[in-house]
């Protein structure tokens, strides 16, 4: 049951209900154990944050920034700020100095809370040139401050600013005076094509989102939530707030690269994730199947086959499976599938929201066949995350993005564009009136840029309109659909479609280097470097053959005709990926222009 308290008073309200029960878990890397933070402790620290922000002179609706990887301190600052009607702006932990400088200048930020050494070093360089900035507050005590830095504080020093001073009445008054139309956050988009925009999220939007989720998800205060995506991402932020409001325990995973280890240590019941996570799980299981003994392989394949019949063909459709099939599935569920889920740390799974990109059908089918309740959904930063999601107690169609959330209005515009209206939809972009006017029409409908349709109460997305490529032959290509299709192959880590204004489709491919090296050794193909391996005609043909197998059902004009294997993965450091790991197509087109041009030579 959701707590009715609004965000500014939520943590204090939950502490009265749950007291010394665990609100959060975090991993102590030195002791290699997970430690608990009680609701009482959580509430006490939030109150100290509110008081210390007042000591710094932070005013009503003033913007403060949080530049950190996921840590409990991020939540302390968020809710401490809400208690005094301040606004928090989360920066991605990997943001560059240029990005930080832009956001600090755009939002007139005076104070930045930073996580580790990288964030401190980056923010400190900005502090020295942005005269509006006054101070950094550092979460991690292992951070080494610059010898010339006389203004930054460690988090415990910041909390101590209010020791011995009673701000309780002022905080209580500010909390009571908080307005639903107050800004809660400004979330800057990662910007795949142009300038980053600050999406304004109000308390009214969050409250409407909370109401819309009532009954939509089988979430309760008994759930243990693994945090995986960055709190900066609206999906993880909105989901985590919903879990806090429900009284769940949140396990804060500090390092995304350690997520598989964290899952095995914590054994959560829920975790929101992007399709890429499940693609990696799928690839790992396929590798396990391929390297198992014939008997083990048959058992795994049979378990997934029976799981598909039981879960996908019957349960997802709201149908009752035949008794014989049910008995077969129960056998595999308690043996092969149970062992598989335990290996992943998901044996206690309740449900797993998945959004952020198109889910390849083969991946969704695999996850559901394994008995994992995936809740597919669709949303944007501008819609406070969820627009639609699967309903656990209603029929689900493979490939849909669920049923529209209560309180969200949807209609379809030109080119079947999905248009949105409702209290969860942003009123616009921070200090960007012209861009806001382009996104929200005169009737108040927000234009998503995504095309789709409704069928039997479920929403389906067909393509990202703005990302459609037009070949020189006049054919339209939906690159994201193709990319998600090819990336399920275990030899392909990432693939980027090239087609716009070209006469046919080609692709830049980041292969799974380890598996590719194994193939080369088995076939006696010599190589002294990744570059040599990726340029080998036999290796290129090997990947091309796998692509041809996958694309047999595509129209001729959609099929990839030529590929180039790249010896290095795309990186944020080179500006090729956004903070949410989306490719920046203009950057790739420019950086790999010679290689792309070569694929189109006669």
Q: What percent of the chain has pLDDT over 70?
A: 99
pLDDT-derived band of residue 543, with 50, 70 and 90 as boundaries?
A: very high
487 band by pLDDT with thresholds 50, 70 and 90 = confident
List, edge to edge, every strand of the sheet that includes 560-565: 492-498, 505-511, 560-565
Region 333-359: mean pLDDT is 93
Task: Kindly report which listed range (229-238, 464-473, 508-517) carries the lowest average pLDDT score.
Answer: 464-473
554 vs 384, which has greater pLDDT? 384
The percentage of the chain sitting over the pLDDT mark of 90, rounded to a whole number, equals 82
Q: Nearest Cα to 28, choosing from 205, 262, 235?
A: 262
Chain region(s) in the chain for CATH 3.40.50.12780:
7-178+215-257
pLDDT value at 193 more than 70:
no
How far apart are the C-alpha atoms of 240 and 250, rounded to whole Å?
Answer: 8
pLDDT value at residue 500: 82
CA distance 315 to 84: 48
Per the prediction, the chain carries an average pLDDT of 94
Give 482's pLDDT tier (boundaries 50, 70, 90): confident
Whether residue 194 has pLDDT greater than 60: no
Where does the pLDDT of residue 233 fall: very low under 50, low under 70, confident under 90, or very high at 90 and above? very high
CATH 3.40.50.800 fits 7-178+215-257, yes or no: no
pLDDT surpassing 60 at residue 239: yes
Rounded mean pLDDT, 29-47: 96
Whether the per-residue pLDDT at 191 is higher than 70: the answer is no
Average pLDDT over residues 369-396: 96
Asked which of 459-473, 500-514, 528-542 is least confident by mean pLDDT, the reply is: 459-473
Which helix (H) or strand (E) element contains residue 128?
Answer: helix 117-129
What residue ranges of the chain are covered by domains with CATH 2.30.38.10? 275-423+438-465
* Residue 190: predicted pLDDT: 64
Nearest to 383 by CA among 350, 348, 322, 426: 426
Q: What are phi and psi of 439, to 5 degrees?
A: -90, -30
CA 225 centroid distance within chain: 15
HEC-encoded secondary structure of 513-573: HHHHHHHHHHCCCCCCCHHHHHHCHHHHHHHHHHHHHHHHHCCHHHCEEEEEECCCCCCCC
Where is pLDDT greater, at 557 or 144?
144
Sort strands 33-38 and 22-28 into parallel, antiparallel or unpaired: antiparallel
What mean pLDDT comes out for the span 379-383? 96
Under CATH, domain 468-599 is a member of which superfamily?
ANL, C-terminal domain (3.30.300.30)
Nearest to 140 by CA among 112, 113, 100: 113
Backbone angles phi, psi at 38, to 5 degrees: -75, 165
pLDDT level of residue 128 (50, 70, 90 thresholds): very high
Query: What are the helix and strand counts (H, E) for the chain?
Result: 22, 24
CATH topology of domain 275-423+438-465: Luciferase; domain 3 (2.30.38)
Alpha carbons within 13 angstroms on the beta-carbon side of residue 191 total: 16
Helix, strand, coil in percent for the chain, rounding step 5:
45, 20, 35
- pLDDT bin (cut points 50, 70, 90) of residue 464 is confident
Residues 85-120 have pLDDT tens digits of 999 999 999 888 988 999 999 999 999 999 999 999
> How many Å apart are CA 189 and CA 438, to the nearest integer?
16
Confidence of residue 485 (pLDDT cuts 50, 70, 90): confident
CA distances from 66 to 54, 230, 601 (A): 17, 12, 48
Residues 243/219, Cβ–Cβ less than 8 Å: yes
Cα 514 from chain centre? 26
- Residue-level pLDDT at 581: 75
Average pLDDT over residues 209-230: 96
């Amino acid at each position: 049951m959701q707590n009715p308290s609004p965000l500014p008073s939520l943590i204090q309200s939950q502490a009265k209900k749950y007291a010394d029960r665990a609100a959060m878990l975090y991993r102590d890397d030195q002791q290699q154990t997970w430690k608990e933070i009680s609701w009482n402790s959580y509430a006490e620290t939030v109150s100290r944050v509110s008081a210390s922000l007042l000591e710094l002179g932070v005013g009503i609706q003033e913007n403060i920034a949080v530049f950190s990887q996921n840590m409990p301190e991020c939540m302390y600052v968020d809710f401490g700020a809400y208690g005094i009607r301040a606004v928090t702006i989360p920066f991605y932990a990997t943001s560059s100095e240029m990005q930080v400088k832009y956001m600090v200048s755009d939002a007139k930020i005076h104070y930045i809370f930073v996580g580790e050494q990288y964030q401190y070093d980056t923010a400190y360089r900005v502090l020295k040139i942005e005269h509006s900035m006054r101070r950094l507050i550092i979460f991690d005590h292992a951070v080494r401050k610059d010898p010339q830095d006389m203004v930054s504080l460690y988090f415990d020093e910041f909390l101590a600013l209010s020791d011995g001073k009673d701000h309780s009445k002022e905080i209580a008054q500010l909390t009571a005076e908080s307005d639903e139309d107050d800004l809660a956050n400004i979330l800057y988009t990662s910007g795949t094509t142009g300038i980053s925009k600050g999406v304004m999220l109000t308390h009214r939007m969050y409250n409407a989102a909370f109401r819309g989720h009532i009954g939509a998800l089988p979430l309760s205060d008994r759930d243990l939530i693994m945090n995986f995506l960055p709190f900066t991402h609206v999906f993880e932020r909105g989901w985590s707030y919903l879990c806090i409001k429900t009284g769940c325990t949140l396990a804060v995973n500090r390092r995304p690269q350690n997520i598989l280890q964290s899952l095995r240590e914590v054994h959560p019941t829920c975790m929101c994730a992007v399709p890429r996570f499940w693609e990696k799980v799928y690839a790992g299981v396929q590798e396990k199947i391929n390297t198992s003994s014939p008997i083990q392989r048959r058992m795994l394949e049979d378990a997934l086959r029976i799981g598909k019949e039981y879960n996908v063909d019957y349960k997802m459709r709201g149908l009752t499976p035949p008794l014989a099939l049910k008995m077969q599935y129960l056998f595999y569920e308690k043996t092969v599938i149970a062992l598989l889920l335990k290996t992943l740390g998901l044996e206690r799974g309740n449900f797993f929201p998945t959004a952020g990109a198109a889910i390849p059908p083969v991946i969704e089918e695999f996850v559901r066949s394994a008995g994992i309740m995936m809740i597919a959904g669709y949303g944007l930063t501008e819609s406070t995350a969820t627009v639609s999601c699967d309903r656990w107690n209603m029929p689900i169609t493979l490939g849909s993005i669920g049923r529209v959330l209560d309180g969200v209005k949807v209609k379809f515009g030109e080119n079947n564009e999905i248009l949105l209206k409702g209290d969860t939809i942003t009123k616009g972009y921070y200090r960007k009136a012209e861009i806001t006017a382009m996104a929200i029409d005169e009737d108040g409908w927000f234009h998503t840029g995504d095309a789709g349709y409704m069928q039997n109460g479920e929403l389906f997305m067909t393509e990202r309109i703005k990302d459609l490529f037009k070949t020189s032959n006049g054919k339209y290509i939906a690159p994201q659909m193709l990319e998600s299709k090819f990336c399920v192959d275990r030899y392909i880590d990432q693939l980027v479609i090239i087609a716009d204004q070209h006469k046919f489709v080609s692709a830049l491919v980041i292969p799974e280097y380890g598996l590719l090296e194994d193939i080369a050794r088995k076939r006696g193909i010599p190589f002294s470097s990744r570059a040599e391996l990726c340029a080998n005609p036999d290796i290129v043909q090997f990947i091309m053959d796998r692509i041809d197998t996958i694309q047999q059902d595509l129209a001729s004009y959609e099929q990839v005709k030529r590929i180039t294997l790249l010896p290095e993965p795309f990186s944020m450091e080179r500006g090729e990926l956004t903070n949410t790991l989306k490719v920046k197509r203009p950057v790739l087109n420019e950086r790999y222009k010679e290689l792309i041009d070569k694929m189109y030579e006669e």
